[in-house]
Structure 1
Amino acid sequence: MRKEGQKEKSFFVKAVLFFGIVALLFISYEIYKEVYRKKQIQNEIEKLQNEAKKISQDNVLTQERIAYLESRDYKEREAKDKLNLQSPDEEVVIIRPTIVREIAEEEEARPILAIGSEVPNYEKWRNYFFK
């Protein structure tokens, strides 16, 4: 009888131990899933915070651009560029392309002197006034 009682106790202990290990494994798995889920949520939060910072910076840049576009300087520049308007205190100077080409050709025709070469002073003056 003692053997049967010990067998029952031994079987009961083994069954409790087996179910205890199974329960421990199940609980460990659930804890792992929650930790992994928490890590994913934390990564998503960081990603969204970075995106919010970027949007905030873009918003600041957009506000600065709007302020510039509403400024008097921008409106004045656009009026000058697109409508050919001028301020009352400004004078318009027109440079014809033919004159610019002639000046450029004269510059090309002048002899380029080497840095180390010595040209007499009278020749420099003559070149300055007559060429």
Structure 2
Amino acid sequence: MKQKKDQGVVRRLIASRVLLVLELGIIIVFSVALTKEIIRRWEVRQEINKLETEIAELEQSNTEIAGLISYFQSDYYKEKEARLKLGLQKEGESALTIPIIGGTGAELNNLDEAQSSKNQGLGMPQKWWNYFFANNE
């Protein structure tokens, strides 16, 4: 008889609305926690993808920089810079320097500007005629 009485109490407890509300509350709490965890994992995955992309870009940049460093340390580059900036040459070679006659580079630029302003109103055929056949001063 006591066993039947205990079963009745358990059935009433299970059937009660208080227990139903409590169960729904627990389900809601777990659902919210699960949703937050899913969102956090998605954000972490996005951050990982972004960082992997950045790593790939930096590795490519490092490769390019390493190539430039090896080029700047090469004998070819050193020789080229010595020829251009210092005017050096190898044994058996002769260097040719062409002096600017009649003034500096700035004066030649002024001459070019004067020539272009003189030909400004002319058509292309006339400009070509003047270039080849006219007395250019």
TM-score category, normalised to shorter length:
0.5 to 0.7
List alignment gaps of at least 5 residues for structure 2: 1-7, 116-121
Residues 87 and 21 from structure 1, CA distance in 2 versus in 1: closer, same or farther, beyond 3 angstroms? Answer: same
1:68 to partner: Cα distance: 0.4
Give the structure 1 partner of residue 39 of structure 2: 36
Residue 92 of structure 1 and its aligned partner are, at CA, apart by 1.6
Distance in 2 separating the partners of 1:10 and 1:72: 91
Report the Cα offset of residue 9 of structure 1. 2.2
1:80 CA displacement: 1.9
Task: Tell me, yes or no, if the aligned pair for 2:83 and 2:89 is still in contact at 8 Å.
Answer: yes
Quick one: distance in 2 between partners of 1:67 and 1:89? 28
Residue in 2 that maps onto 1:69 = 72
RMSD (Å), alpha carbons: 3.4
CA-to-aligned-CA distance 1:3-49 (integer Å, 9 cap, x gap)? xx79x927852112101110110011011111110011001101110
Give the superposition deviation at 1:93.
1.6
**Partner amino acid, structure 2, of 1:16:** L
**Amino acid of the structure 1 residue aligned with 2:100:** P
Deviation at 1:82, TM superposition (A): 3.5
Match of 1:19 in 2: 22
| Higher alpha-carbon deviation: 74-83 or 9-18 | 9-18
Aligned residues: 110
User: What is the percentage of aligned positions where both structures have the same residue?
Assistant: 25
1:95 and 2:136 aligned? no
Q: In structure 1, how many angstroms separate the alpha carbons of the residues matched to 2:82 and 2:69?
A: 18
In structure 1, distance between residues paired with 2:52 and 2:102? 61
The equivalent residue for 1:51 is 54
* Unaligned runs of at least 5 residues, structure 1: none
Task: Go from structure 1 to structure 2 and tell me whether the alpha carbon gap of 1:30 and 1:64 turns closer, same or farther (over 3 Å shift).
Answer: same
Instruction: Measure, in 1, the Cα distance between the counterparts of 2:40 and 2:54.
Output: 21
CA contact (8 A) 2:71 2:77 kept: yes
CA contact (8 A) 2:13 2:19 kept: no
Q: Which has the higher contact order (CA 8 A, sep 6+)?
A: 1
